[in-house]
Amino acid sequence: MDKLLLDIKNLKLSFFTPAGEVKALNDISIQMEEGEVLGIVGESGSGKSVTAYSLMGLTAYPGRIVDGTVDFNGHRINDMKEHQLRAMRGNEVSIIFQDPMTSLNPVYTIGNQIREVIMLHTNLDKKEAHRRAGELLTLVGISDQEKRLRQYPHELSGGMRQRVMIAIALACEPKLLIADEPTTALDVTIQAQILELMKELKSKINMSIILITHDLGIVASMCSKIAVMYGGKVVESGCVDDIFYNMKHEYTKGLLRSIPKINASEHEKLVPIEGTPVDTLNPPAGCPFAPRCSKCMKICLSRMPAYTSVNEDHYCACWLLQKADFEARADNKGHTEDSAAVAYGVEGGPK
């Protein structure tokens, strides 16, 4: 087995706001091996960014890890001091953000902003860092490097700025690149170019990538593993084929139904997932998806389903699977053993 690069175990993270405790991450576990490309999908507010920030020690005030551990590249993030985190950020792990229009400082040149991170984490002097910055621009597909390095962010297009963000992220050859919805703010043709670039970079450089998106289409073409998040939980995770062809969770199914198909006929409509997202201030006691799930049962409302292992790396947290699992076991052993079994039979209709 390959080396474990990232190991998030039972992470609970909350924002302690004046309105109350916002439970952004509610007991999530994610593992990632070196060289892997992990996709994190889920709708807005499901906790994707918070997960990514937590492993860089970037959790915004008033957020705090309440429980669980985050291990990255041999560090226990929970225990790291700020200066240790600083040495790691931009060096061992970097991130590119959703909106390239606002992610670069408007008053400094592109060259300045790329050099800065190189000079911070390496011993290169200004001249060498400048040369390296030029190389990085070539790497991310920007020509006319000398001119670009002298320009300010407002003189570049959105796609170009996202390429610059990628150059900054790659400057110190990180072990892990986090791309937090890197194409959401870009128009479609530019989206495709940026994704193409990321794929190309992935094959050139040996690094791991976490690709955060709410677009399953993007994930399919890039990732080896997928974690589906909903309401601060990882509701299903597995390799791409498991998620696309053998999905188990009701939310994942809804998500897949909502992808536009290129060859769809005119009247074949997209099926949006009905209902509103989870209220993180008052999270439900049971399955977070219950209020929107058409298969919801009584037990779903009161108890959180545990993970069922579909295969070695395909897990899903849904009572339907527990039921199937239980029934299979019950058939084998010939007797009931879980008190929850009583509840399985009682099917509550959709809300």
Ligand X SMILES: Nc1ncnc2c1ncn2[C@@H]1O[C@H](COP(=O)(O)OP(=O)(O)O)[C@@H](O)[C@H]1O
Interface residues with other proteins (CB under 8 A) are 56, 58, 85-91, 94-95, 97, 99, 102-108, 116-117, 120-121, 152, 154, 165, 168
Q: For residue 44, what are its two tokens?
A: 């807005």
Site of tokens 């080396």: 3
296 interface partner picked from ligand X, other proteins, ligand SF4, none, CB below 5 to 8 A per type: ligand SF4
Pair 230, 278: CB distance under 8 Å: yes
Question: Tokens 């000398």, residue?
Answer: 146
Task: Classify residue 101 as left (phi > 0), alpha (psi -120 to 50) or beta.
Answer: alpha
Partners of 212 in the β-ladder: 40, 180
**Nearest alpha carbon to residue 207 among 171, 162, 161, 165:** 171
What whole-number distance in Å separates Cα of residue 281 and Cα of residue 119? 42
Q: State the nearest-atom distance from the C-beta of 51 to Mg ion, in Å.
A: 9
Cα–Cα dist 87/89, whole Å:
6
Q: Which of 267, 211, 185, 236 is nearest to 38 (CA)?
A: 211
Burial 224-236 (b: 16+ CB within 10 A, else e): bbbbbbbbbbbbb
Per partner kind, with CB cut-offs from 5 to 8 A, the member of other proteins, ligand SF4, ligand X, none near residue 42 is ligand X
Per-position x/- string for 227-266, each x denoting binding to ligand SF4 as judged by CB under 6 A, each - no binding = ----------------------xx----------------
Judged by beta carbon distances under 5 to 8 A according to partner kind, the member of ligand SF4, other proteins, ligand X, none in contact with residue 90 is other proteins
C-beta closer to ligand SF4: residue 180 or 250 = 250
Q: 98 with 181: CB under 8 angstroms? A: yes
Hey, what are 190's tokens? 């530019």
Q: Which does 49 bind (CB under 5 to 8 A by kind): ligand SF4, other proteins, Mg ion, none?
A: Mg ion
17, interface contact from ligand X, Mg ion, other proteins, none, CB < 5-8 Å by kind? ligand X
Binding of ligand X at residue 44 (CB under 6 A)? yes
Our finding on whether 322 is near Mg ion (CB under 5 A) is no
**22 makes contact with ligand X (CB under 6 A):** yes
Q: Encoding tokens for residue 99?
A: 């909106």
Total of chain residues touching ligand X, rule CB under 6 A: 15
Q: Mask 263-302, x = binds ligand X (CB under 6 A)?
A: -----------------x----------------------
Element (H, E) at 315: strand 314-317
Tokens for 334, please give them: 């010939």
For the chain, counts of helices (H) and of strands (E): 14, 12
Contacting ligand SF4 (CB under 6 A), which of 96, 211, 219, 290?
A: 290
Residues from 32 through 51 that contact Mg ion (CB under 5 A): 49
Among 318, 326, 343, 344, binds ligand SF4 (CB under 6 A): 318
**Residues at the interface with Mg ion (CB under 5 A):** 49
**Residues at the interface with ligand X (CB under 6 A):** 15, 17, 22, 24, 42, 44-50, 60, 63, 280
**Residues at the interface with ligand SF4 (CB under 6 A):** 249-250, 287, 289-290, 293, 295-297, 300, 305, 318-320
